[in-house]
Amino acid sequence: MELKCESVQFDSGADYTLEIDFNVLNVIEMKSVLKILYNSSSFCYGDIYLLGENVIERMDYIGLRLRDRENRCLAELVVETFNILKKINRQPVYISHSTTQQKKENPILVEMHDKFNHYMYSALVDSPVASPVKSPCAKASPAIDTLVEKVRVPKKMKKAFRR
């Protein structure tokens, strides 16, 4: 019995990097992938930025419905992703646009912060759901008006004394 051992050679010029397709994952799976990537090597930080871009796309797709109870998991994922991206940058993020002196900010962090605040806390002016609906004016019948006038307001009641 003879064993032949063939050596398998890999092309050293080929790219063997793993790319994660975040579009196939649901929100709960994305949370666990975010934790795994953050606790892994710093080479995975690029994948966290890609996850952040995917989270922004999902936020844009949902829009103002991000406030709803069924989208609470996505809102939590946005907050977790924002906090982890902030930790990765190791610099304070100044979001205020009114200050003249600003540090160079990460565009993903700024975009995520602005969109999250817009979708969660802005007024519902943009939404057609918030447009006021006028109720129809009901005309009062004269019979009801006469009954209201005839009802007497009770006089002050006097305390009954016990003997």
- The mean per-residue pLDDT over the stretch 43-68 comes to 90
Total Cβ atoms within 10 A of residue 146: 9
Residue with tokens 């419905």: 65
Which pLDDT does position 91 carry in this prediction? 45
Enter the pTM of the model: 0.60
Least confident segment among 60-64, 117-121, 155-159 = 155-159
Binning pLDDT at 50, 70 and 90, where does residue 18 land? confident
**For the chain, domain boundaries:** 22-130
Q: How far apart are CA 38 and CA 114, in angstroms?
A: 23
Q: How far apart are CA 102 and CA 110, in angstroms?
A: 12
Which pLDDT does position 97 carry in this prediction? 53
- The mean per-residue pLDDT over the stretch 141-154 comes to 58
Which pLDDT does position 53 carry in this prediction? 94
